[in-house]
Structure 1
Amino acid sequence: MNTQIQRNYEAAKQIYANLGIDTEKAIVKLKDIKISMHCWQGDDVRGFLNKDQDLTGGISVTGNYPGAARTPEELRQDLEKAYSLIPGKHKLNLHAIYADTDEKIDLDEIEPRHYEKWVQWAKKQGLGLDFNPTCFSHPKSDDGFTLSHPNKEIRDFWIEHCKRARKVGEYFGKETGQPCVTNVWIPDGFKDQPVDRLGPRERLQASLDEVFKEEINPAYNLDAIESKLFGIGSESYVVGSHEFYMGYGLTRNKLICLDAGHFHPTEVVSNKLSALSLFSEGMLLHVSRPVRWDSDHVVTMDDETLAIARELVVHNLISKTHIGLDFFDASINRVAAWVIGTRNMLKALLRAMLEPTESLKEAELRGDYTTRLALMEELKSYPFGAVWDYYCESSNVPVREDWLKEVKDYETNVLLKRD
């Protein structure tokens, strides 16, 4: 243990102890939290099944930084580097298009065996796996509709794909010993004002009921559904709105996914968590940074990330919330993007764990809003960074910006040689 890091930690430990906060317990709690890191940051959401298909579904990745992963092996190599720079053991979130197979298959033909190499790798790395059907970037989604498509043949194609995705999720859960969260997001919607808003939602409801018809042990697979406000090409109407999926999730006992970039600019996910937690089976988070709506920037420790973490910690919602990340930035080193975003989510959670929640609640109940505000502001300059440094050091990962040198070396020795 670095002597200076140890000294800084001991000093911070005493400062927090004066507030009744046990830093050791906070670190133990943080170690138990698994962040689901998304694979698609590593290759700009191309995947390996339909590499020549343009990215569609209202999604756009900008930038041309060198070194994007071109094969499953390269992607796993990049992921290993990223995980080695992040404290704790976490999960990987895969999309269906990342199947690792030599077979020529379509999305309605995926089977667990097409992801066997991912499972072998995850078990070796000690990681859990999450999954997503890929309902975009495919000829059968080119007109902007999938599970709510008016053409039954196309609708059935996507139903079959989602059914098979759940079986892959079940396989992941059985093999890794950790439940797989299989999240359904679709891009369906209209660019201009529709005449019929109800019909597509009726079709989507019926399609989802068919997708989820088979009961799967929740010890292996957990179903989640994700809403969106609008996308490129669906600016006026999205079938799977927040209201639709909240109603569906609550009545069908599904996890409800809240993506930080999928709401109005004045809406925040952090303000929805406590309300939704009272009624939902559970929640899935896609933590992102919407600079301009759903721009999917790398997660920083901004106000909303801190607020999300605080809501989870203060209200003991971590046990019923699955935390995933969702961003894709091709303008910077992709491995660095993973490390920055994941470390920031963990830092935000640690900072929330180092707040005197009970004291703040008591002040609030007394109507002593002066004390509440004063303490919350003073806590911002408390030395949580010293606790974070200690956690990183004791987890054998680089402290502070030391990880960046490793990424730069990796870029020189590995990434730049790909191009």
Structure 2
Amino acid sequence: MNTSTAYNEARTRFAEIGIDTEAALTALDAIPVSMHCWQGDDVVGFEFPDVALSGGIQTTGNYPGKAHTAEELRSDAEAAMALIPGRKRFNLHALYIDSDEKVSRDKIEPKHFERWVAWAKSRGLGLDFNPSCFSHPKFVDGMTLAHPDPAIRRFWIDHCIASRRISDYFGQELGTKSVMNIWIPDGMKDQPADRLAPRQRLLDALDEIMSANVPAAHHLVAVEGKLFGIGAESYTVGSNEFYMAYAVSRKTALCLDAGHFHPTEVVSDKISAVEPFVQDLLLHVTRSVRWDSDHVVTLDDETQAIASEIVRNGLLGRVHIGLDFFDASINRIAAWVIGMRNMKKALLRALLEPTETLRRAEAELDFTTRFALFEELKSMPWSAVWDQYCERQGVGIGAEWLATVKKYEAEVLVKRR
């Protein structure tokens, strides 16, 4: 389908409100979105593939064809990326180690991820990284970095330090800073007698991780809070308040996950609230149903609001966008494609907004104009601009990509064990 006629009409419409669609597409093309590896295999990884998930993580569904090896996961990621326009990154967890050598999680080294780096180099991708503080025999009593046993804490501290070395290796080899995000599931199912001591232990552990003799030129460390988790319903050590204070005082990046707050809270409002105090923000864009259920990202109001806040406030250089969901009830490649394309659609819509006109109306207390423009923008022909972008990138217009995913499923996925 040729999209030129619709695009030219849309280009004229947007020009009437002062928006250059070509400039918007150029800007969109420069924004990387990090695609998360754990959607491809239901957060299992390749370290202990037969060990059940633990640490407040649960995947539902058993759709056929999930990846069982790093080679399969890379193949699936490539199939998805071929249907997603624009710049992309790939986000790895430590348990996705790809090495012939069996190694304890606290002893992992850059060499154990060389195949991932070679793959990323060949495809022009940046890599992000995460220590995996869950689904492990040393995740005991619901605690890792905050555990009262010094030996347990030592293991997880060493794992995070090793992960920093790997993340910096990624950045150095690929020429783009790697964002390493620390999330731990530590907490308690029932009411604790002492809320302070675990947080003091977590603070000390994080300080040791950050002060370790690790090159820091090529990676950023982010910390991620959470409201509660499965098995940690009454108390979460690493709450949002704890990590916000840590990021500000220790000058780390702060990760805001769209599912890690009370259902009445929204990340879009928090972006500008923390922006004056932190240099870098990491966003985990997800869709929570009832709570942190990590559903596939849709083009809903909150996803759009997140994108709009980033663009309106000129934060594209300081906000790192990653997706975080895992749905095993549908084709996993389709889930990647839908989520990634929706994030990019939201960014495009934000880039097609007459921000200065809206700001001027607001500054002049002309809330009528502001309200009217916001509403009229919803029916502007942004989808014609998106279709033109997809056509230029050769990734399929509308749902054309779905036939490619179905073909890959029939030829590859259903043949897996």
Aligned partners of 1:318, 1:43: CA distance in 2, in Å? 30
Q: Give the corresponding residue for 2:29.
A: 31
Per-residue CA deviations over 1:287-332 (Å, capped at 9, x if unaligned) read: 0000121000000000100000000000011110000000000000
Of residues 151, 154, 159 in structure 1, which corresponds to 2:152? Answer: 154
Aligned partners of 2:12, 2:132: CA distance in 1, in Å? 49
1:171 aligns with 2:162: no
Per-residue CA deviations over 1:134-153 (Å, capped at 9, x if unaligned) read: 00001111321000000000
Deviation at 1:219, TM superposition (A): 4.0
Deviation at 1:81, TM superposition (A): 0.3
Aligned partners of 2:316, 2:207: CA distance in 1, in Å? 28
**After the TM superposition, which residues 270-419 of structure 1 pair with which residues of structure 2 at under 5 Å, given as runs?**
270-419=268-417
Aligned partners of 2:110, 2:48: CA distance in 1, in Å? 18
Indicate the larger mover: 329-338 or 206-215. 206-215
What letter matches 1:126 in structure 2? G
TM-score, normalization: structure 2?
0.99
Q: Secondary structure at the match of 1:183?
A: strand
Q: Give the corresponding residue for 1:120.
A: 118
Aligned partners of 1:239, 1:392: CA distance in 2, in Å? 44
Q: Secondary structure at the match of 1:286?
A: strand
Q: Give the corresponding residue for 1:232.
A: 230
Q: Secondary structure at the match of 1:231?
A: coil
Q: Secondary structure at the match of 1:343?
A: helix
Indicate the larger mover: 394-403 or 405-414. 394-403
Q: Secondary structure at the match of 1:290?
A: strand
1:85 aligns with 2:79: no
Aligned partners of 2:141, 2:39: CA distance in 1, in Å? 25
Q: Give the corresponding residue for 2:55.
A: 57
What letter matches 2:259 in structure 1? G
What letter matches 2:413 in structure 1? L
| Structure 1: gaps spanning 5 or more residues | none
Aligned partners of 2:42, 2:151: CA distance in 1, in Å? 30
Aligned partners of 1:116, 1:242: CA distance in 2, in Å? 34
Aligned partners of 2:409, 2:113: CA distance in 1, in Å? 27
Per-residue CA deviations over 1:25-68 (Å, capped at 9, x if unaligned) read: 10011000000100000000000001122101111100000000
Aligned partners of 1:16, 1:264: CA distance in 2, in Å? 37
Q: Give the corresponding residue for 1:43.
A: 41
Task: Give the conservation status (yes or no) of the 8 Å contact 1:189–1:239.
Answer: yes
Of residues 117, 136, 144 in structure 1, which corresponds to 2:142? Answer: 144
Task: Give the conservation status (yes or no) of the 8 Å contact 1:56–1:142.
Answer: no
Aligned partners of 1:216, 1:140: CA distance in 2, in Å? 24
Deviation at 1:89, TM superposition (A): 2.4
Aligned partners of 2:102, 2:340: CA distance in 1, in Å? 34
Q: Give the corresponding residue for 2:187.
A: 189
Q: Secondary structure at the match of 1:345?
A: helix
Number of aligned positions between the proteins? 417
1:73 aligns with 2:83: no
Aligned partners of 1:405, 1:357: CA distance in 2, in Å? 37
Indicate the larger mover: 362-371 or 82-91. 362-371
Aligned partners of 2:238, 2:316: CA distance in 1, in Å? 26
Indicate the larger mover: 276-285 or 218-227. 218-227
Aligned partners of 2:142, 2:103: CA distance in 1, in Å? 22
Identity of paired residues, percent? 60
What letter matches 2:373 in structure 1? L
Aligned partners of 1:180, 1:368: CA distance in 2, in Å? 43
Task: Give the conservation status (yes or no) of the 8 Å contact 1:89–1:126.
Answer: no
Deviation at 1:233, TM superposition (A): 0.3
Task: Give the conservation status (yes or no) of the 8 Å contact 1:47–1:98.
Answer: yes
Deviation at 1:396, TM superposition (A): 1.7
What letter matches 2:82 in structure 1? S
Aligned partners of 2:238, 2:109: CA distance in 1, in Å? 26
Indicate the larger mover: 214-223 or 225-234. 214-223
Q: Give the corresponding residue for 2:245.
A: 247
Task: Give the conservation status (yes or no) of the 8 Å contact 1:179–1:218.
Answer: no
Indicate the larger mover: 299-308 or 274-283. 274-283
Aligned partners of 1:90, 1:182: CA distance in 2, in Å? 16
1:256 aligns with 2:254: yes
Deviation at 1:116, TM superposition (A): 0.4
Aligned partners of 2:403, 2:412: CA distance in 1, in Å? 14
Task: Give the conservation status (yes or no) of the 8 Å contact 1:130–1:169.
Answer: yes
Aligned partners of 2:391, 2:275: CA distance in 1, in Å? 35
Task: Give the conservation status (yes or no) of the 8 Å contact 2:65–2:415.
Answer: yes
Deviation at 1:214, TM superposition (A): 2.9
1:21 aligns with 2:19: yes
Aligned partners of 1:213, 1:267: CA distance in 2, in Å? 33
Q: Secondary structure at the match of 2:228?
A: coil
